[in-house]
A and B are shown apart, each in its own frame.
Chain A
């Protein structure tokens, strides 16, 4: 068996299409991850130059986050919003003399606003409706009375869950499920710098490149034998219909795992090196206070990468099944790539069922907003959260399609 697996790997790695697709897609991933560092931007509170970029911007983001670090309590929010309000009039406009950038007061406001911008956005999130900016929201918040940040966040979450016009709609059981989840999130949320992990979460989508490479490399696994007319030779041997189909599946899984590992290393490693690996233990609520998942950012990255791997294996198994059934690698490439990138072409829709189905695609599984959003699948009283559903669906796809692919090849008729 081991020698058959080695020969199968040799066949796959020997193909020009494997070499080129792996090489090109890996280079692209590195390029995008590099650009992601180079193109970081931050306002320079010192004023000259007014904008920072690259590693300087990253250092500024770290400084901004660290000055606001600490638990996000009602008092802390009241304090920062109160301070913000001192710069604003009743309409939320910046008042004189802070509105004139030429004055020292204008300079002072500019520095304060930009170094607090991320934090303000986060803590004012529970009061925001749609895409509002912090200054519009800040004047609405009455800091004279005690605030209830998490109560406000829970109310916002409840409103989202009850919204009949949202991208997803929720059954009463699902709504209760998520509100209980939210209740269980440790509070107050600890704020701090977790730039590396945060950036990885935003870049998880690049793992789709690994999946594309694997589809391209593994599409010919079975169909290549039909196309090259080697099927008659190999199927007529002792192990041709027993061990060989499985050796092919194992070899494909090994290749896929190695390729995914390499891509994951780049996509997780580059941000952690350039943005820093600290803050991994901070909760995902530092991205949004209404987040209902009880995960740290490092755990969220692990879940994303892990689900990406499950998605990869599922996609691989489907690719292998198509490979055993179809006579053309091109058709398989087309189907595989369509599954991966079709969501880019589908306009955002409001249909609950369609979205629940779309969200099963790797594209959404690797999008932090869906991955860490309140997504669940309900069947009567049973509610399965997004991560468990994805894992179940991907595992089922693999466990069904991989043996079916092997079986289809073993039953192939040479004619």
Chain B
């Protein structure tokens, strides 16, 4: 590398000789190219050599025709050399070779030997270019997708063990299902619902992470007044100024206290296209939802003579379908599903996916193939998402099959167990939340009805061996959630559940306080059980670089830390716990059974959370 740089300096020196005539420069360049070429002939995987060549060529004056010839030679010798492929893209760019021509080159290379990641990858890059530039025959994308599916099918069927084709297939599937723009998928409160609180959170949930949600892009209208003091903030721990879910708090102004006036609130997209996906695609489809607020003043002031809330079986009874709570959930669900504009998935997409499903079912009928099963699982999920003609009844036909596929994969391919497990969990939750009937099986009533903290009902997703959670857009209403006795290692996304007041995460695999970071956003949280996890059990937390540090001062309650921290020992755990719990107002916390917890830490928590009534089952005074 150093030698190459030295050559660059020498090259500059030679070039800057007085009166450089073009012949002279050309001879210098040719000499450089010759040196690089001989180096590449010895080792054509040398980063330095390829880079130097690129540098020399970018000086101009050299024949790119010759470069193409050289590339043809090298790429014939080693068809998968990604340096050569990179360099080829560079030269193709310089020479303005059409993408179609280069696409043909990848076809030829793949025809010679389809076991070539680089060629498939270049193909996807070129097709993306062609699609972007809307070149005739490549836009819209359904024009080429069908052919490409057939092309790659030849590779995948000929040798299912060769992964390069599968990767390309994944790219195609992604292109097929990708919704062109972000859209609103759900909200709290849902459309048509009735809220009986005067101050409540509003959550809008998009199909992907977006930025630019603000006063101008989202209009909030109470009766006929458009509110001008709304501040939207993203519910996302890691990303800056963007998120899939956005939050604001509304306080419905009511002038006539004690009256039973009902306010109509309407939230709709503003006229600008300011809400954008992270790739810059605007959410251009108009959306709106409306709900009513009955302005009853809160009847029971909170925080009086609280008993410990226990989330064990004996404290629950199964829900009765005809109970009030269930009825309201039922309505809520209908509404939730009913009124958001779903982008109409084109017919070609569902046809394409359906045909792919048939093909891969056939392949799996004679070949035991891990990546084939995974692809089929993904295709089936894509299919489910596609054929949702009526959003009220999402199609869940293939769920059992998908779950079965992931279960098989966990056994077949232990090396990727965690990935399959996570996918399995996400699909399972999708299935659970797909309809009110399926969800009802997991809803339990609190026997004690006077607990207004928890609400009447608890969603109990315990003992399901979940390793991840998802489908938050369908859980925005949940106040009380039991996720105990699972294998959760992350609760990412949970921050969207703004009504959550009672959460049981005991007996999971959460490895650090930072894994609890989403809790930071759950300002209504009163009861939390994180006992018997693995907090502090793993000495090195690889996610640490993502979290806020004592020096970053992103938290608004920094000063408090100075007061409560005693300034010694396990500062890291203390800080992390502080960053998660510092902003919460917990009344009950169970944290026993974690490596990080010792006496000193318990004292620290007690100081940190002055509102705490119960800590690990002991009443505090």
A and B found bound together: no
